[in-house]
Amino acid sequence: MKNIVILGSTGSIGKNSLEVIKMFPDKFRVVGLTADSNVSVIVEQIKEFVPEIVAIADSKAFGKLKGIFRHNTKPVVLCGLEGVCAVAQYEKADIVISAISGSAGLLPTLSAIRAKKTVALANKEALVTAGHIVMTEASKYNSAIIPIDSEHSAIFQCLNGSKLESVRRIILTASGGPFIGKTKDQLQNVTYKEALKHPKWKMGKKISIDSATLMNKGLEVIEAHHLFNIPPERIDVLIHPQSLVHSIVEFQDGSFIAQMSMPDMKGPIAYALSYPERLNNVMVPVKWEKVKTLNFYEPDNKTFPSLALAYAALKEGGTMPTVLNASNEVAVKAFLDEIIGFNDIPVIIKKVMDLHKNQPAESIEIILTIDRWARNKTIEEISK
């Protein structure tokens, strides 16, 4: 029996993780949950899974949650970032699922690593903003990081048993999102509701917009660089509309290994929780006799420049990926709030990147300072 903590249990990955745990009650037990502010959802999760400790980041939501369970001895209810970090390092936890959206997941992820937990990582922003520090800390504290992102889980599976020097390149696949094949002019007046209609995956709002702009794939390129110690020039992206091939590894001998399945996040979640074993009947199998074509295309960087911005940030290094990520988070929110247009998102991010004086990302304090600078500067650019 493995004891599981889920950071961000009310989001898409968190909910899918609980579905997997519910499928295998003899293998997994929930001991901790955290959320940002969604009291109604986490209350139902607490009632069903009976964790020992929970935390909610928002202070108003904490008051509501604490009031609901004030007569209960369990769970212990904590508040704020400090409370979320305490749940991340809960002594009884064997695996911590890091599924908090955005850079807010960085410090809780580091807390789990420093507590020597196995981290099932869905929070790509932790590696985007502080990849070198996160991986160094994981090595220092002997904390295993197993990726949950479908693309990185695929690479992790394809590399199993292979030496990195045998790898020529890795290829991340992207569905292309809801606007595949569109031109920049056609995207000028699209609404956030249209951008949220992903053709293959059910995801949260922020990651759905990132998928539509291809920024999500750019963030995954940076994440893959840190996870697998692969230089950016050996990480490629291909558009694959069917979303059956989740990523590909090319080896030095000219052979390729791809990981394939239906587009269902329960697959990589279950693999991360059960590794190195595989669980039975997690996903519906692909009916290959009904698959007529598998298509692959190069990304359209003219229409979707966010991917190129991510490559540029990675190659420049230092604090530039932090700026990219922070500016993107603010710009995406502005789009969802109908303040800016879809095509404005990468334009604003590039302006902020151009204004940034890059420096070495030597500490978490520096990264957090630059993160705040980038957010404030993005707000300034949006206001113009």
Are 291 and 244 in contact, with CB atoms under 8 Å apart? yes
Cross-strand bridge partners of residue 256: 250
* Cβ burial, residue 139 (10 Å; 0-12/13-18/19+): exposed
Tell me the C-alpha distance between 30 and 95, whole Å: 10
Tell me the C-alpha distance between 168 and 161, whole Å: 15
189 part of a folded domain: yes
Tokens of 208: 């759905």
| Same-domain status, 8 and 43 | yes
124 part of a folded domain: yes
CATH number at residue 25: 3.40.50.720
pLDDT (0 to 100) of residue 325:
96
Tell me the C-alpha distance between 232 and 314, whole Å: 7
176 part of a folded domain: yes
DSSP code of residue 75: S
Q: Give the domain-ending residue among 147, 162, 195.
A: 147
| Same-domain status, 110 and 170 | no
| Same-domain status, 242 and 228 | yes
| Same-domain status, 87 and 203 | no
| Same-domain status, 108 and 186 | no
Q: Is 79 helix (H, G, I), strand (E, B) or coil?
A: strand
Q: What is the 3-state secondary structure (H, E, C) of 275-299?
A: CCCCCCCCCCCCCHHHCCCCCCECC
Range of the domain at 136: 2-147
Cis peptide before 276 (omega within 30 of 0): yes
Tell me the C-alpha distance between 64 and 203, whole Å: 27
Q: Which helix (H) or strand (E) holds 119?
A: strand 118-121
CATH number at residue 320: 1.10.1740.10
Q: Give the domain-ending residue among 130, 147, 164.
A: 147
| Same-domain status, 44 and 183 | no
Which residue in the block uniquely carries the two structure tokens 């220092």? 140
279 part of a folded domain: no
220 part of a folded domain: yes
Tell me the C-alpha distance between 10 and 53, whole Å: 15
| Same-domain status, 199 and 242 | yes
Q: Give the domain-ending residue among 147, 166, 196.
A: 147
118 part of a folded domain: yes
Neighbour order of strands in the sheet with 245-251: 235-239, 167-174, 245-251, 256-260
pLDDT (0 to 100) of residue 49:
97
> In this structure, what are the phi and psi dihedrals at residue 340, rounded to the nearest 5 degrees?
-125, 165
Number of compact structural domains in the chain: 2
Per-residue pLDDT 10s for the chain (384 aa) are 999 999 999 999 999 999 999 999 999 999 999 999 999 999 999 999 999 999 999 999 999 998 888 777 789 999 999 999 999 999 999 999 999 988 899 999 999 999 999 999 999 999 999 999 999 999 999 999 999 999 999 999 999 878 889 999 999 999 988 998 899 999 999 999 999 987 777 778 898 999 999 999 999 999 999 999 999 999 999 999 999 999 999 999 999 999 999 999 999 999 999 999 999 999 999 999 999 999 999 999 999 999 999 999 999 999 999 999 999 999 999 999 999 999 999 999 999 999 999 999 999 999 999 999 999 999 999 998
| Same-domain status, 115 and 163 | no
| Same-domain status, 26 and 166 | no
Tokens of 193: 């509701």
| Same-domain status, 137 and 194 | no
Contacts by 262-265 with C-beta closer than 8 Å and gap 24+? 262/286, 263/150, 263/175, 263/200, 263/201, 265/12, 265/13, 265/16, 265/148, 265/150, 265/201
Neighbour order of strands in the sheet with 118-121: 76-79, 53-56, 28-35, 2-7, 95-98, 118-121, 145-147
pLDDT (0 to 100) of residue 298:
96
| Same-domain status, 140 and 198 | no
Q: Is 179 helix (H, G, I), strand (E, B) or coil?
A: helix
Q: Is 61 helix (H, G, I), strand (E, B) or coil?
A: helix
Tokens of 21: 């745990």
DSSP labels for 317-354?
A: -TTHHHHHHHHHHHHHHHHHTTSS-TTHHHHHHHHHHH
271 part of a folded domain: no
Are 317 and 273 in contact, with CB atoms under 8 Å apart? no
Q: Is 238 helix (H, G, I), strand (E, B) or coil?
A: strand
Q: Is 97 helix (H, G, I), strand (E, B) or coil?
A: strand
| Same-domain status, 201 and 325 | yes
289 part of a folded domain: no
Which residue in the block uniquely carries the two structure tokens 């936890």? 93
- pTM higher than 0.75 for the full model? yes
